[in-house]
Structure 1
Amino acid sequence: MKAGPWSGLWSDSITPAKPVLGCRECFLLVLLKLGSSLLRWTFTHVLLDVLPRVTCPNHPDSILVEDYRAGDMICSECGLVVGDRVIDVGSEWRTFSNDKATKDPSRVGDTQNPLLSDGDLSTMIGKGTGAASFDEFGNSKYQNRRTMSSSDRAMMNAFKEITNMADRINLPRNIVDRTNNLFKQVYEQKSLKGRSNDAIASACLYIACRQEGVPRTFKEICAVSRISKKEIGRCFKLILKALETSVDLITTGDFMSRFCSNLGLPKQVQMAATHIARKAVELDLVPGRSPISVAAAAIYMASQASAEKRTQKEIGDIAGVADVTIRQSYRLIYPRAPDLFPADFKFDTPVDKLPQL
């Protein structure tokens, strides 16, 4: 083989060595090293000077020693205490689930749940060492298993499902707490035997929303649960009967603000829709119609009279009602449209030009 410039790097009988870096690669490598050096110098000489730092007034460059027992920072040169009552946020003990020690040195446990029978004070079964502690695949059978009663375990699962449903529709914590209390009362009475806990939890969430003045529709609850509207409605009636409680009647005003906000309608249209729905109920124009369908029809009429027009489908998607339902309620209030709008409403479309459907 003829000798060449690469004869020292490659051979037919040996593994090729790494190729020599070219000028461009060397230049990029130098830039990377310079960049890292610049960042290190900036952090050392600029950022550390800006950040507040505890130092000894007599020996600023001395190393401070931390006394963990007393919680003091002491100068190693003169012994001056430059910081006291330092809180150690670290763990007091290092504990592991597979530790062979029989005692747990931790002095505090998890938060208690007052809704559970034992306050969630359960026992954790650690990982065993004998053959009976493992299955045929070598996995631990009892690791981290809690000795919790079946009723508490069922309620814990229901509480988790309630929290998940509330999070999906952005409900506050007080709604979750009220729902948990309702579920606990129903579960302990055993008055809804045969009904699934998920259905009971969904119905309790619906009741809690009504009682707290932030009602949600059955369809909204169905959308975040795995239960049908019919089953939630049945559990809703059974729970009210079992607990001997009641909920306030739903009005059109309960949904108007939320629906208009989700549709991006201005305040003037919202106030007009609220006025239209209230007058329609007072004049008994919509007998037998649900407040949700009346609110949707009022929003459609107010938006069509303004510059911010919305279609029946857009309103139906937000309100959870069908287009035909909106049209049926709208036809009932349309003949009295001039009497329904507030006196100070600014029309973009005159009343006589509104859709007749």
Structure 2
Amino acid sequence: MASTSRGRVQICCPEHPDAPLVEDYHAGDMICPECGLVVGDRVVDVGTEWRTFSNEKNTKDPSRVGAAENPLLEGGDLSTMIAIDPKDSQVDEFGKPMYRNRRTMNSADRALTNAFREISQMADRLNLPKMVSDRANTLFKQVNDTKSLKGRSNDAVCSACMYIACRQEFVPRTFKEICAVSKVSKKETGRVFKLILKTLETNVELITTGDFMSRFCSNLSLSPRIQKAATYIARKAVDLYLVPGRSPVSVAAAAIYMASQASEDKKTQKDIGDIAGVAEVTIRQAYKLMYPKAHDLFPEDFKFATPIDQLPTQ
């Protein structure tokens, strides 16, 4: 039913004239929400056109008009390049053709794009989720805008941003793991990491042994029972101040070694060191500090396959 109001035709339901009609964009119908009556049909869809012409014989796809917009780039990926007539060619003094610059983005955007690509590749090698690479991209953009790290290589800044992003997104990785997928040394990454924290006036949460325990135990194919015991041992060792000055990674590796030696699934210091990225001597030194208090470190419900008195002393 249609009613006329001031020269305009207004469609309404004959049974419920005051009810606001619901438009079904897929079918092109105007439906009354009270009784479900289709009042008007074949309504013109004023939404965005999403048709694709990729199946036609023409090789070009008109539905693809450019890359997705990236808010981190200066131009927002909306820059335009005017084509040059190929017949309008110039030659230099030696008669060779001169090619005009056809770059589609400025140097600043190109540097950002290369850095984002490097960060994405590092995230892929480390099997990290996209939110970590997005956080690293944002950190790199903030550092780049401050222009406080001029002279530092972009690879070092990318590695440091990835390390910070991992810790801020609660999926921490060690410096060795970051350096293994980048082109920068551990020393340079650590130096740039401190400069970024100072420049951006931000901080990161302290790393604990629990941040690495599940990943290390999973890579070692250890059971959840051993993982739970290793987590308890590492936390207890830190609480009792048995391993002062030791990094959380080395404490976690020593705790895994102690828990595995007391169980039926024993792992060597070399196996654990290869997964954790810690030298055998480092694991041995932390284990020697924890061994005298081994009776106080294991949880009460732990089932020993090897008694504490028969555990290796180092």
TM-score range, shorter chain: 0.7 to 0.9
The CA deviation at 1:130 is 4.1
Q: TM-score, normalised by structure 2?
A: 0.78
Q: TM-score, normalised by structure 1?
A: 0.69
Q: How does 1:117-128 map to 2 (within 5 A)?
A: 117-124=74-81, 126=83, 128=86
- Whether the aligned pair in 2 keeps the contact of 1:125 and 1:142 (CA below 8 Å) is no
Match of 1:197 among 154, 169, 175: 154
- The question of 1:349 aligning with 2:312 is answered no
Residue in structure 2 matched with residue 89 of structure 1 by the alignment: 52
Residue in structure 2 matched with residue 331 of structure 1 by the alignment: 288
Residue in structure 1 matched with residue 207 of structure 2 by the alignment: 250
The CA deviation at 1:111 is 1.2
RMSD: 2.6
Quote the Cα distance in structure 1 between the aligned partners of 2:77 and 2:66.
10
Structure label with greater radius of gyration: 1
The CA deviation at 1:185 is 0.2
Q: How does 1:278-357 map to 2 (within 5 A)?
A: 278-357=235-314
Query: Secondary structure, in 3 states, of the residue corresponding to 2:234?
Result: helix
- The question of 1:230 aligning with 2:193 is answered no
Quote the Cα distance in structure 2 between the aligned partners of 1:349 and 1:129.
84
Q: Structure 2 vs 1, CA of residues 151 and 335 (structure 1 numbering), >3 Å: closer, same or farther?
A: same
- The question of 1:259 aligning with 2:222 is answered no
Match of 2:87 among 129, 143, 146: 129
Query: Secondary structure, in 3 states, of the residue corresponding to 1:146?
Result: coil
Quote the Cα distance in structure 1 between the aligned partners of 2:58 and 2:72.
31
Q: Structure 2 vs 1, CA of residues 265 and 139 (structure 1 numbering), >3 Å: closer, same or farther?
A: farther
Structure 2 unaligned segments of length 5 or more: list them. Answer: 1-44
- The question of 1:168 aligning with 2:125 is answered yes
- Whether the aligned pair in 2 keeps the contact of 1:256 and 1:274 (CA below 8 Å) is yes
Q: Structure 2 vs 1, CA of residues 214 and 242 (structure 1 numbering), >3 Å: closer, same or farther?
A: same
- Whether the aligned pair in 1 keeps the contact of 2:227 and 2:256 (CA below 8 Å) is yes
- Whether the aligned pair in 1 keeps the contact of 2:163 and 2:178 (CA below 8 Å) is yes
Number of equivalenced pairs: 262
Quote the Cα distance in structure 2 between the aligned partners of 1:122 and 1:164.
26
Q: How does 1:177-196 map to 2 (within 5 A)?
A: 177-196=134-153
- Whether the aligned pair in 2 keeps the contact of 1:280 and 1:286 (CA below 8 Å) is yes
Identity %: 68
- Whether the aligned pair in 2 keeps the contact of 1:122 and 1:146 (CA below 8 Å) is no
Quote the Cα distance in structure 2 between the aligned partners of 1:133 and 1:261.
64
The CA deviation at 1:110 is 2.4
Match of 1:112 among 69, 90, 102: 69
Query: Secondary structure, in 3 states, of the residue corresponding to 2:265?
Result: coil
The CA deviation at 1:148 is 1.2
Structure 1 unaligned segments of length 5 or more: list them. Answer: 1-84, 97-103
Quote the Cα distance in structure 2 between the aligned partners of 1:125 and 1:164.
32
- Whether the aligned pair in 2 keeps the contact of 1:133 and 1:142 (CA below 8 Å) is no
Quote the Cα distance in structure 1 between the aligned partners of 2:251 and 2:51.
61
- Whether the aligned pair in 2 keeps the contact of 1:210 and 1:247 (CA below 8 Å) is yes
1:158-214 per-residue CA deviation (whole Å, 9 max, x = no partner) reads: 000000000001000000110000000000001111100110011000000000111
Quote the Cα distance in structure 2 between the aligned partners of 1:156 and 1:264.
39
The CA deviation at 1:216 is 0.1
